[in-house]
Structure 1
Amino acid sequence: MDNIYIGLLIPLLGTVLGAAMVFLLKNDLGDKLKKSLLGFASGVMIAASVWSLIIPAIDMAEEQNQIAWVPAAVGFLFGIAFLLVLDMIIPHLHTTDDQPEGIKANLRKSTMLVLAVTLHNIPEGMAVGVVFAGVIIGNTGISMAGAIALAVGIAIQNFPEGAIISMPLRSEGLSRKKAFMYGALSGVVEPVAAVITILLADLIVPILPYLLSFAAGAMIYVVVEELIPESQSGKHSNIGTIGVAIGFTMMMILDVALG
């Protein structure tokens, strides 16, 4: 059980360490570095969605004598729809945009920047919770090593996300401590979402393949809607593409080697 508690906190650790870069870097992240980090995070999330979520969902559906592709397809589309709705409702602002998205609200720019990253972290927390729920349930084909691999992979991609949120907050005039605090707090939603999922573990056994692919769909939404467009905007788009390749390969190796 201790391994599960540690696994749930690993992604948050990545966000906290990334946010701590505000104490080490004097200026905002350079454009090239930001694009490479966004691309890297995209690659990690794509690989995690395929190897850690969709493929296990298909295998599990086959073991339950279901049509293998149905849970993967249905869950994936519902995950996309879920994030689409949240994107339209929650007021948030991306670092590369001037106009906020979601329902109009009289919120500070720093608050909306944090909400944007928090929105990213919801599906990641769900993904970690679902795989660890699979470990607790047993007989799901999900190993502890595979669950830890997913948690580590998400922590790796959370590191640049933490830096990308804390550095702009510093540029907005916040103190280093406040910028760090906001950046770190944006990742708290991940263990919270994971714990809620685990608490419902006994109820989700029949629909676990759907939940795995649901988390994958939500993560892919974030990648396609926000991370990749931001990494490809303006000049030096090839740097973002290289980041995707490196992130995808690293997460694939991590998942196959440990899973």
Structure 2
Amino acid sequence: MTLDHLQKLVSGTSVDAVWTQHCAQMAAFGFDRLLYGYSRLANAASFGDRQDALILSNHDPDYLDRYLAEDLLRTDPVIQWAEASDGALSWREIAGHDVAGSNGAALPPIQALNREFGIAAGYTISFRNLAHRAFGAISLTGAPGQTQQDLDGIWAAHGAEIVLMNRVMHLTVTKLPAPDSNRLTKRQREVLEWVAQGKTIPEICVLIGRKQATVEKHLRLAREAMNAQTTAQAVLKASVQNQIFTYR
């Protein structure tokens, strides 16, 4: 089962296909809801701009919308643990992630949301990256009715296998173009790649056989597509999203 799943992951040609395959495999282990995030443009405030992060999930869309809209990504204790750690951790060991209130006190927002959607037990895996500003993690939620004790038993038997599968999934999707990124046209990719190689606008005009106004238009549209203020920032974001090839 492990080898077959790994082969399917590494041969995936799109993030959507890899993610669908991976969700099905994790459900077979008893983890039916996953939340994955990765950014190579993270900052001191976790993922940084969400537009620059790859976030994948098969949670209820209402849960995910509220989780992101209320910016709970920055206060979720499992994410705070993952930012400072490498490996896997049972939610039993993460203070503040349990959904049980104490003494009738109001629950923190993340706990209240988890309780509302029946998120009670799970594991989180952090993908440590030595590259500056890179950060990735995935949270695996147990299926309804599963207790943390149940999941800890599954992990005792299959934890190493599950971690390996998730690491391969992570490495695979980070090499594929992000599914929700604003797509650059072929010409926009081309001019950004020439910029990345140090070419000036007049040089690019000669290389692609277009007038300066046309090249400047492609660069402007590329900046807009990447939600970038400068061409250099557009090059960086397009490279991070695997939309262009740059020498690194």
In the superposition, the TM-score normalised over structure 2's length comes to 0.27
Structure having the higher helix fraction is 1
Q: Which has the higher contact order (CA 8 A, sep 6+)?
A: 1
What TM-score does the superposition give when structure 1 sets the normalisation length? Answer: 0.26
Q: Which has the larger radius of gyration?
A: 2
Greater fraction of residues in strand: 2
